[in-house]
Structure 1
Amino acid sequence: MATAGARKLATTAAYAGSIGAAGLTGVGLGAYGLLRIEAAVARRVVGQPFEGAPEDSGTYGHGPGPTVELLVIGDSTAKGMGADRPTQTVGAIVATAVAAIAGRPVHLTNVAAVGAISTDLGDQVTRALELVDHPQVALIMIGANDVTRSVQRATSTRHLAAAVAALRAVGCEVVVGTCPDLGVIEPVPQPLRFLTRKWSRDLAAAQTVAVIEHGGRTVSLGDLLGHEFEKTPAVMFSKDRFHPSAAGYARAASALIPSVLDALGRTSTDTGRAPDRRRGESIGPVSVAAMRAVRDPGTEVTPTAVGGQDSGHRGRWAMLLRRHREPLPTQVEPPAPDGIAAASGSGQSNRDGEVTEP
């Protein structure tokens, strides 16, 4: 997301299109004027934009065997704006981790662009496939600029779905870091911060459904950095107070690495395990999993099958895993709400944690 995005929040609030129309309906001229004033305040306090982002494309690590081809696609967070050195970007951190665990070199090709929105993904995928014949995995980070520029949610998800489908068609695994929660941006006051949080989460949920339907997997970034940003904004934010710092990118990368490893068939902490309902994990309709993932940053959603079927009467089956590590509760939680079937919970389950549709 570009720094200019924070400066466009006034326009976004006034002309939010389908993403924010429901939230703005009936707020009245007084509330509209308040949003414009708040956005003007945000423009004054957000720092100056960077001239560019570090160039992190290259080969990371050493070892025998063929090189792993990793693509990075998306906006300025995928590009690494706010990082001081190429090794501090999300792509570079993920590539370094994969190289260390796989014992093979990883060649990173980053075609992300500062200011990109979902409609730019098609061109980025075309360019990436021109540069790399047989990519094994692609990491996509997109969505923040779609919110700040009032791109219709249906348009955003359609272009993201097309990008995932194009990559899957050439045998490339896809991991998507969904739209971050713009409500954590410190200079944005309330209630504008509340509205941007709602728009961000709505888009993230829609992205998850679109990605799963086309064979990719998602990791909810949401407000993954929210608590750290609130406690130590000078550490987690870069100097523009809008993009993550090197520490912020490292935190985001830590949530993405297990999913990238699993996509490559490499062993991680969660490889091969069934969902654990004590952690709120489950198998159920993707629409329900998407909403739960939005509320729980660091959560991975992947397509799965139940009883040999990819879909049930409520749509595509998906598995929700909480990749981030937190202490388990002392008591087992009740069956998961919202109609999602928890492994070992409601519905019939097999030994792999899959549940059959009621």
Structure 2
Amino acid sequence: MVWTSGAVRAARRIATAAAVGGGGLTALGAVTYGLLMAEAMVARRIVGQPHGLDGPQADGVYGAFPGEPIRMAVLGDSLSVGLGMTRPEDTPAVRIAYGLAAVAERPVRLTVVGQSGAASVDLGVQVDRALETRPEIAIVFVGANDVITATLPARAVRHLQKAVRRLREAGAEVVVGTCPDLGTVRPIAQPLRWVTRRWSRQLAAAQTVAVVEAGGRTVAFADLLGPEFDANPAEMFGPDRFHPSARGYLQAAYAVLPSVCAALGLWPEPEPVRVEGSQYLLAAMAVEEPGTEVTATRVAGRAVGPHGRWAALLRRRPGPLPNA
């Protein structure tokens, strides 16, 4: 398994570099960094911008239920806006809003502040906008553009952690969908597709550590979206072969909804299978286990153990999303 000592060390190294302000190139090295940057430029030219930069306008109140709406903000990159979709109900944000409303039996007031092409460095401005709505729950999708633009992992993680901390300090629960597996993206050629897969997973593990430290929780996207996207690219990807199709976006919403509901104390299912351990080990494990959630916990009354902060890995079994 990839989550053995090497992956744990990589997550720890990136997280440490983020904390002290280092670059954190990780084991991929400077030469690979340069090659990846060149390949990313080629991939971007191939993909282009067939959908423009905006998804459909999705802000609004969802769910025909009585009561005060739950305030939900969605931040991040093209996944947050559902780039390529023409109907709001096909975007992940609206799918999650409908699902949350059905579980809570309350309407959900959705505000999307994400933007296509955004990387972790752009989260600061998005948090400013999100906080204007006083969100009770914030969902962040970020990481893919950090890999595509060859942003140093520690720098990306540092921006993400700051964003999560600001949202938590304002009283919002935070769920982060970590970096997806870009090794499934066909416009990125081999052998660098393998490199992007490795970098994606290292970044996802480091994101998990940073988010847990800041008081949020994560949902692992790499292995959840990777196999199905890899096996069924025509169905899961849109026409540009980079952004998801409606079915691909539904898969993302399906993965995140249980953790969103759980963060608000609403998930009606029995307690999921739970594993406790060092945040570094569980971060690396989560990258390899579809849809797992990682959140902070205490062991014997202690938040920190001999190998770092204690965390819990939760294997949830989501139910079907309501029809939009």
* Structure 1 residues 263 and 239: alpha-carbon distance in aligned structure 2, compared to 1, 3 A threshold: same
* Structure 1 residues 261 and 155: alpha-carbon distance in aligned structure 2, compared to 1, 3 A threshold: same
Which stretch shifts more, 172-181 or 309-318? 309-318
Alignment of 1:223-238 (within 5 A): 223-238=223-238
Which stretch shifts more, 311-320 or 18-27? 18-27
SS at match of 2:222: coil
**Pairwise CA distance, 1:302:** 1.0
* Structure 1 residues 294 and 207: alpha-carbon distance in aligned structure 2, compared to 1, 3 A threshold: same
The residue type equivalent to 2:224 in the other structure is: L
Aligned residues: CA RMSD = 2.3
Mapped partners of 2:184, 2:48: distance in 1: 16
- Alignment match of 2:67 (pick from 59, 65, 68): 65
Mapped partners of 1:166, 1:26: distance in 2: 35
Alignment of 1:49-198 (within 5 A): 49-51=50-52, 52-130=54-132, 132-133=133-134, 135-198=135-198
SS at match of 2:115: coil
**Pairwise CA distance, 1:274:** 5.3
**Pairwise CA distance, 1:223:** 3.6
Mapped partners of 2:208, 2:45: distance in 1: 34
* Structure 1 residues 68 and 89: alpha-carbon distance in aligned structure 2, compared to 1, 3 A threshold: same
Aligned twin of 2:283: 290
In structure 1, the gaps of 5 or more residues are: 1-16, 276-281, 326-358
In percent, how many aligned pairs have the same letter? 52
**What whole-Å deviation, never above 9, does each CA across 1:174-230 have from its counterpart, x for those lacking one?**
000001111010222211100011111111111000000111000000142333223
SS at match of 1:224: helix
Mapped partners of 2:212, 2:128: distance in 1: 21
Q: Kindly indicate whether the alpha-carbon contact (under 8 Å) linking 1:88 and 1:250 is maintained by their aligned counterparts in 2.
A: yes
Mapped partners of 2:95, 2:121: distance in 1: 26
For the pair 1:219 / 2:219, whether they are aligned, the reply is yes
Q: Any runs of at least 4 consecutive aligned residues in structure 1 with deviations exceeding 3 A, and if so which?
A: 17-22, 24-27, 38-48
Q: Kindly indicate whether the alpha-carbon contact (under 8 Å) linking 1:111 and 1:127 is maintained by their aligned counterparts in 2.
A: yes
* Structure 1 residues 26 and 163: alpha-carbon distance in aligned structure 2, compared to 1, 3 A threshold: closer
SS at match of 2:94: helix
In structure 2, the gaps of 5 or more residues are: 1-21, 319-324
Mapped partners of 2:297, 2:29: distance in 1: 37
Q: Kindly indicate whether the alpha-carbon contact (under 8 Å) linking 2:146 and 2:156 is maintained by their aligned counterparts in 1.
A: yes
Q: Kindly indicate whether the alpha-carbon contact (under 8 Å) linking 1:304 and 1:317 is maintained by their aligned counterparts in 2.
A: yes
Q: Kindly indicate whether the alpha-carbon contact (under 8 Å) linking 1:35 and 1:192 is maintained by their aligned counterparts in 2.
A: no
Mapped partners of 2:190, 2:151: distance in 1: 22
* Structure 1 residues 249 and 84: alpha-carbon distance in aligned structure 2, compared to 1, 3 A threshold: same
**Pairwise CA distance, 1:57:** 1.0
Alignment of 1:251-266 (within 5 A): 251-266=251-266
Q: Kindly indicate whether the alpha-carbon contact (under 8 Å) linking 2:23 and 2:155 is maintained by their aligned counterparts in 1.
A: no
Aligned residues: 295
Aligned twin of 1:356: none
* Structure 1 residues 249 and 273: alpha-carbon distance in aligned structure 2, compared to 1, 3 A threshold: closer
* Structure 1 residues 19 and 238: alpha-carbon distance in aligned structure 2, compared to 1, 3 A threshold: farther
**What whole-Å deviation, never above 9, does each CA across 1:138-157 have from its counterpart, x for those lacking one?**
00001111111122212111
Mapped partners of 1:48, 1:165: distance in 2: 33
Q: Kindly indicate whether the alpha-carbon contact (under 8 Å) linking 1:19 and 1:147 is maintained by their aligned counterparts in 2.
A: no
**Bigger Rg, structure 1 or 2:** 1
The residue type equivalent to 1:264 in the other structure is: L
Mapped partners of 2:24, 2:94: distance in 1: 32
Mapped partners of 2:46, 2:114: distance in 1: 27
* Structure 1 residues 98 and 189: alpha-carbon distance in aligned structure 2, compared to 1, 3 A threshold: same
Mapped partners of 1:172, 1:75: distance in 2: 20
The residue type equivalent to 2:264 in the other structure is: L
Mapped partners of 1:310, 1:19: distance in 2: 26
Aligned twin of 1:304: 297
Mapped partners of 2:49, 2:68: distance in 1: 43
| TM-score of the superposed pair, with normalisation by structure 2 | 0.84
Q: Kindly indicate whether the alpha-carbon contact (under 8 Å) linking 2:40 and 2:149 is maintained by their aligned counterparts in 1.
A: no
* Structure 1 residues 215 and 48: alpha-carbon distance in aligned structure 2, compared to 1, 3 A threshold: closer
